[in-house]
Chains A and B, each alone.
Chain A
Amino acid sequence: MNDFIRFLGEPIAQRSLWACAVVGFSNGFVSALVVLRRSSLQIGTISCALLPGIALAILFFGLMQLSILIGAVIAGLIVGLGSLFISRTGRADHDTALSILHTTAFALGYIILIRLGLQQKVDDWLFGNIMSMGDADLWIAWGTGALAVLSITVLYRPLLIYLFDMRAAASMGIPTRAFSYGIFTLIILVLVSSLQAVGAFLTLGLMVAPAATMYQLTDRASLMFWGGGLIGAGGSILAFFLSYPLGWHLGATIIVVLGCIFLLAWLFSPKFGLLRHRG
């Protein structure tokens, strides 16, 4: 226990704790978009598709935060829009095209990372390593989170109409295409900024579970955003305090904790839970 308290005094521990809070909150906040749009599987494929972009960025520009970010956004766009293009021009449907493109991209990224001699790093990209987040990474996470909260709060009313009823939104003059691209870009930014924390595999859990938990508890869309943020941050901080004494991998612990919170809500939600009192 004394070990743990001594560890908490170290800058690296404090930075990790901040990272848990910030990454957890921004992912949880944005997860409402993913849950309300019912696009969690697409986000899952895109988060894996970021890997080759990151690998190529490292190949050409070295390990730099900005180039990694740009590489990831480009890879996400190529897979996301490419699958749409393939499904529109060929016989395969969108899900099929997306499945093939994202596994191909993922495999390619893996090969490149191994060829670059980054074997040890591969685990970090797949499952995350919060301890490796530096001050610059933390600032980027802050900035992305602030951008997400600010843009969603300012555009909340048209955004909700867009999420609920895209055709009515378009008929009201809401620029639905711009919203689609904006949401896509925002999600990729948040994904990339949290990639170091939980990795390409696990990031899907952080980007879906918080709002999905709130959806078990409330019928108010706004609570899914803010409640999702709080659950994401709270769950991640709880995981931080669990992982050290238990000796568990922090990124994986975050996902396990959020998964457990979701299951608790599914079972015990007073309004919609499986075990609620039926009057």
Chain B
Amino acid sequence: MVDEHEHICWGGGHHHHGGHTLSAHQLCARYGDVTALSSISFSASCGHTLALIGPNGAGKSTLLNLLAGLIQPSSGTILWNDAPLYNARQEIAYMPQRTEVDWRFPITVRELVEMGRYPATGIWKSLRRHDHEIVDRALASLELQDLQKRQIGALSGGQQQRAFLARALAQEAHILLLDEPFTGLDVPGTESLARLLRALAEEGRLVIASHHDLSTASRIFDLSMLLNRSAIAFGATADVLTEENLFTAFGKRHITISV
């Protein structure tokens, strides 16, 4: 596991104390008159995997959207190393839900991963050798070299997910935001994606994902936030997913959790 006080942060490649920390203070989000989320506060540092858990409409997507900068909070702040997160967009990599991706779009795996270099190069610069090396490394670390010339629709479900993770790696972002990454995966697919996410966290990233499957949450994520319009509990997954908390969030006796 990661040493909290001194870890080798991937990308920066240097030791530092305390790690990078994402912290939210009293976040609220409104759609018109409807309050989707209120007074969310938490803080998590890189090296962890954090699950956002709650019933449908609890605000999991809203919280991801807030962190990704896709919507603005109506009040509250999000800080990354004590500075506003919105000033550090290159630190955030967003991975959409599989059902939201147009898999017939005419791009190859490599082109998808190259998109991750956009925040670093901007509009005016094209990819340099340095960028191509980063793309090569991202493809290699997710074992996609042999598939890089394939159109993205010609991949299996697990490979498609790895291709999007490779884009996040190429972006060299510290924070990975994933929208329901485990939806539609079979048991082996879930296991291997879980291993991958833990490995990415151990290299010094902060992985945050919305998650609906209570039975797998404790095996995949070391931190959890239980949500229903506001935060019900936040902390180590085992401490968060208690009968009592789940009753508060879901409003009914929930299936017992197998560990």
Binding site for B on A (CB under 8 A): 36, 38, 154-155, 157-158, 160-161, 163-165, 167-168, 170-174, 215, 218-221, 224
If A160-B115, A161-B115, A219-B151 touch, whether A171 touches B177 (CB-CB below 8 Å) is: yes
Name A172's contact: one of B89, B101, B108, B111 (CB within 8 Å).
Answer: B89
User: Which residues in window 78-96 of B have CB below 8 A to A?
Assistant: 89-90, 92-96
- With both beta carbons as reference points, the residue of chain A lying nearest to B154 in the complex is identified as A219
Using an 8 Å CB-CB cutoff, how does the interface string of B97-141 with A read, 1 for contact, 0 for none?
000111001111001100100110101000000000000000000
If A171-B69, A171-B70 touch, whether A221 touches B106 (CB-CB below 8 Å) is: yes
Binding site for A on B (CB under 8 A): 68-70, 89-90, 92-96, 100-102, 105-108, 111-112, 115, 118-119, 121, 123, 151, 167, 171, 177
Q: Are A221 and B105 in contact (CB under 8 A)?
A: yes
Q: Are A164 and B89 in contact (CB under 8 A)?
A: no
Complex CA–CA separation, A38 to B104 (angstroms):
11
Name A36's contact: one of B89, B105, B112 (CB within 8 Å).
Answer: B105
If A154-B123, A157-B118 touch, whether A171 touches B92 (CB-CB below 8 Å) is: yes
Complex CA–CA separation, A165 to B101 (angstroms):
7
Within 8 Å CB of A173, what residues of B?
69, 89, 119
- With both beta carbons as reference points, the residue of chain A lying nearest to B151 in the complex is identified as A219
Within 8 Å CB of B95, what residues of A?
168
Name A160's contact: one of B70, B93, B107, B121 (CB within 8 Å).
Answer: B107
Interface of B is mostly: mixed
Q: Are A220 and B106 in contact (CB under 8 A)?
A: yes
- Number of A-B residue pairs, CB cutoff 8 Å, is 70
Name B89's contact: one of A38, A171, A219 (CB within 8 Å).
Answer: A171
Q: Among B93, B105, B111, B167, which residue has the most Cβ atoms of chain A within 10 A?
A: B105
Within 8 Å CB of B177, what residues of A?
171
**Chain A nearest CB: distance from B11 CB in Å?**
17
Complex CA–CA separation, A163 to B111 (angstroms):
13
**Chain B nearest CB: distance from A32 CB in Å?**
9
Complex CA–CA separation, A168 to B68 (angstroms):
8
Complex CA–CA separation, A158 to B114 (angstroms):
11
Complex CA–CA separation, A44 to B102 (angstroms):
22
Name A157's contact: one of B70, B96, B123 (CB within 8 Å).
Answer: B123
